[in-house]
Structure 1
Amino acid sequence: MKQGSLNARIIMLLVLGAILLTIGVSAWNSLREIYPTVMAYTYTVSDSMEATGFLVRQETVLTGQGGTVELLPEEGEKVSRGETVALFYQSDDGLTQRQTLQQLMLEQEQLEYALAQAGGSSDSAQLSTRVADAVADLRGAAASGDLTGLESQTMELKSLIYKHSYTFDQEGDSTAALQASLDEVNAQIQSLTAQASHSTSRVTASQPGVFSGLVDGYESLITPDMLDTITPSQLNELSRQTPAEDPSAIGKLITNSTWYFACTLPQEEAERLVEGRTITVRFSRDWSGEVDMEVERLGDAEDGKMVVVLSADKFLSDTTLLRRQTVELVFNTVSGIRLPKEALRVEQQTATDPDTEEEYQVSVTGVYALVGQRAEFKEVTVLSEEDDYILVTAASTETPTQEKKALRAGDKIIISSGELYDGKVIE
């Protein structure tokens, strides 16, 4: 026999032996592990259902005609009566003048700051810190992808840098030079303001409210006044409509802090609600949040369905962009410790009647936990039962002994069907 063939056979036999050894060890371990455990952990079960409906608000559409429009308030920002909410520029020159005017006003602020520092003690150290903080905030926002405040953060940083420059770079008697620069900027602002008044028109708020730049056409199709009589068929018909766009609309004002959610539910589900009580509404799609809403109205049944109208006066500014939404109505939530069903046991224990001192047998529900090397029975109360798990809590913790033996999250729970008793040593 050749030496090469012999070596190859030896190697094959060694590999085969290693495989058989691995299989044998695995089989042995599986046979020995007759008391497998799982970790107990806290869990919350919600009794809830999905519902699709409309957010309804008291809304006034803002309109205007002109060239380029600039919306001044942020989405969801409160505006007061008479406040300018939009500017219309009749030409590109008007927009350029507006941008130049903004830069001049920023420079005006910087010059006024520098003039206040001239000839006196400067808070240069504090200013340097503010510049560093502004740079860090801008970098953090860019890294996280949050660009909502990019413009304001950039303007703030530029302002601080200019102020820093004026504070440190002016030499000698700079007060006169600063004042001259400020006078020149003020003159330019006055001139540009006069010019802009001829090429720019304004849209002002006729009443206080919350501003939104989204006009979807539903503002007149469904209003709070309609919710007192709306039926399931009308709400269903509304969901099939495509509202017409208003080309002159530039935004809207929400003029009442109370907003509504109107939806259609099966009659048996709707009748679980009670007018005047609250229910938690969980938004998770276009906006994530939970709102406690009051049940305003339960409509009359129509073909096994009912209209449900809910109301709230919080989170209005966060929900201005929402209209037709699918939400989760949470009727109730239960929190406890989640365990596999097979971990639950019913044990017979001996109890003593305190009056007659007679002993009798009682059935106790609980689970076995692995404490050190011993099995310890922990009495529990079942809160909820699902298809493949149960939700439990410790049954009683009135005495120090009961408190010590109470079930807690993090306990190792034995799920074996083998024989167990309190105090059994588990090897």
Structure 2
Amino acid sequence: MKDRALGTKFLLALVTLGVLAYFGIQAFRYFTDPLATTAAYAYSVDRSVSLSGYVVRQELVLEDSGGLLRLQRTEGERVSAGGTVALVYSDQASLDRQTELASLEARLEQLQFAQQAAQGAEVSLKLDTQILQGILDLRGALAADRLDKAETYGQDLRSLVLKRDYTYSETEDLSGQITELSGQISALRAQAASSTRRITAPEAGLYSAVVDGYERVLTPDMLESLTPSSLTALQADESVRSEVGKLILGDAWYYAAVVSEADAQTLSEGKSLHLRFSKSVEQDLPVSVYHVSAAESGRVVIVLRGTSYLPELTLLRQQSAEVILGSVSGIRVPREALRAEKTTLDENGQAVTTEQAGVYCLVGMEARFKPVEVVYSGDGFALVRSAYDTAAGDLTGSQEVARLRAGDQVIIAGRDLYDGKVLG
């Protein structure tokens, strides 16, 4: 009797240990389950070729002139034929006289405005709006490091503030001040006429203050004769200099770069593409393939031609860029989520694998296998489309369930996954 009681206790202890071991294993599996998911989403990737080349334009260097120079045009500003590009002063006194003249003319304009503004209060409100916009423009130019624009915005803002200040002043004596200032301005103009000379544009074009020495060694006329070796060895002509600047003629610009012969296979002449500069220009620029040179040691020169956004390109010369060949769209999933086989359970509960590309997705509390086709493989991710991407009316119920969509929860990692496995 004593032995039977001992055996019963030993059996109960074994059962208890078995139950504890079972729940311990289940708890361990639960807390160490590698199941991880992420959302799939629509994504596009540009197919591009990286380039390093030169921006080419038809350019006319303006001749230097002795004396003190004051430029009258901003970068990228269009100048008509005969338009003033710069003023040249014979000596410092002439320059100081011109500075004083500009100050008096600005003050005269402010007084005339104040005299007119006295007729209506709505002018003050309009000035307040213009001052606020002027502050925003100045701040934007400083943030973009465009000091040339910031100087212009600063001058305009000072003028607006002074105009606003004059609207608070008494206007009875403005006529006398205006008459006095007009006399001073007339006298200064007469003195300045004999000591000031204008530099004008011989042709219409866009103004640029930067002369870099490539204006005469890299022209549109020579683009079709460029070879990879000649473009690589290109050097600026240091003798070409001008403090006045240059004019960019015409509306077309070109970008010449050396690429491998393999990359050039997709760049046939006349093909429309988009060019993306690495800096200075925020948007992709429409271009066409203007010329592809003969191959030289497995390399060719490609020349792209554009006719838009020329005022934004006046400061560009040697520049890195990407030519956009096209784009690929699909559903983005992590590469580790891709599976080469689909696993199911037969009627006996045995795992059956079928060779098929796809991903497992968490649908409700189940893992569901969704077949896909890989359309692009990137760094750590892949773009895929569902194997059942067709008109919804052509799909069966099971195919519709197995269709991958943007927003599905894709399983990145999981233990012993198969189609229909209950998770959680």
1:64 equivalenced with 2:64 (yes/no):
yes
C-alpha distance in 2, partners of 1:130/1:286?
A: 28
Q: The residue matched to 1:158 in structure 2 has which SS?
A: helix
Q: Does 1:424 align with 2:421?
A: yes
Structure 1, unaligned runs of 5 or more: 1-23, 350-360
Kindly tell me the number of residue pairs found equivalent between the two proteins.
386
For residue 328 of structure 1, the aligned residue among 322, 331, 338 is: 322
Q: Which residue of 1 aligns with 2:108?
A: 108
Q: Does 1:393 align with 2:390?
A: no
Q: Aligned letter for 1:67?
A: G
After TM superposition, list the pairs within 5 Å mapping 1:44-55 onto structure 2: 44-55=44-55
Cα contact 1:397–1:403 (8 A) shared by 2: no
Counterpart for residue 318 of structure 1:
312
2:374 corresponds to which of 378, 382, 388 = 382
Structure 1 residues 99-108 or 308-317, which shifts more? 99-108
Structure 1 contact 216–245 (Cα < 8 Å) conserved: no
Cα distance, 1:405–1:97 mapped onto 2, change above 3 Å: farther
2-side partners of 1:242 and 1:208: how far apart? Answer: 25
- Kindly report which structure 2 residues correspond to 1:248-287, keeping only aligned pairs within 5 A, or say none: 248-285=242-279, 287=281
Q: 1:335 to 1:93 in 2, by over 3 A?
A: farther
TM-fit CA distance, 1:279: 2.4
Contact map agreement 1:122 1:167 (CA 8 A) in 2: no
Alpha-carbon distance in 1 for matches of 2:178, 2:252: 47
Alignment TM-score, normalising by the size of structure 1: 0.80
Deviation at 1:216, TM superposition (A): 0.9
- The amino acid that maps onto 2:383 is L
- Tell me how far apart the structure 2 counterparts of residues 266 and 132 of structure 1 sit (CA, whole Å): 52
Instruction: Call closer, same or farther: CA 1:210–1:119 in 2, change over 3 Å.
Output: closer
State the secondary structure of the residue aligned to 2:268.
coil
Report SS of the residue matched to 1:218. Answer: coil
**Percent of aligned pairs sharing the same letter:** 40
Match of 1:347 among 330, 333, 342: 342
1:194-238 CA deviation, whole Å, 9 max, x = no partner? 222222221111111111111111111111111122222322221
Query: Per the alignment, do residues 99 and 405 of structure 1 end up closer, same or farther by CA in structure 2, a change over 3 Å counting?
Result: farther
Matched residues in 2 for 1:273 and 1:119: separation? 65
Q: Whole-Å Cα distance in 2 between the matches of residues 97 and 406 of structure 1?
A: 79
Indicate conservation of the 8 Å contact 1:75/1:212, yes or no: yes
Rate the CA distance shift 1:139–1:78 in 2: closer, same or farther, 3 A. closer
1:152 is aligned to 152
Q: Deviations over 1:101-138 (max 9, x none)?
A: 22122112212212223455653333344444544554
Q: Does 1:187 align with 2:193?
A: no
Instruction: Specify the alignment match of 2:410 in structure 1.
Output: 413
Q: Is the 8 A contact 2:61 2:242 kept in 1?
A: no
Cα contact 1:59–1:252 (8 A) shared by 2:
yes
Change (3 A) 1:325 1:87: same
CA distance in 1, matches of 2:319, 2:143: 31
CA contact (8 A) 2:209 2:243 kept: no
Distance 1:292-1:376 versus aligned 2 partners, 3 A rule:
same
1:387 CA drift (Å): 6.3
Instruction: Give unpaired runs (5+ residues) of structure 2.
Output: 1-23, 345-352
Compute the RMSD of aligned alpha carbons: 3.1
Q: Deviations over 1:131-189 (max 9, x none)?
A: 44544554666577664433233322322232223322216xx2xx3222222222222
TM value normalised by structure 2: 0.80
For the residue of structure 2 that corresponds to 1:318, the secondary structure is helix
Q: 2:343 touches 2:417 (CA, 8 Å); kept in 1? A: no
Query: Match of 1:426, as an amino acid?
Result: L
Q: Deviations over 1:343-382 (max 9, x none)?
A: 2234389xxxxxxxxxxx9976432222443324444332
**What whole-Å deviation, never above 9, does each CA across 1:255-291 have from its counterpart, x for those lacking one?**
1110111122222222221111122222114544422
Question: 2:357 touches 2:372 (CA, 8 Å); kept in 1?
Answer: yes
2:201 aligned with 1:208: no
By how many angstroms is 1:307 displaced? 1.9
Q: 1:423 to 1:184 in 2, by over 3 A?
A: farther
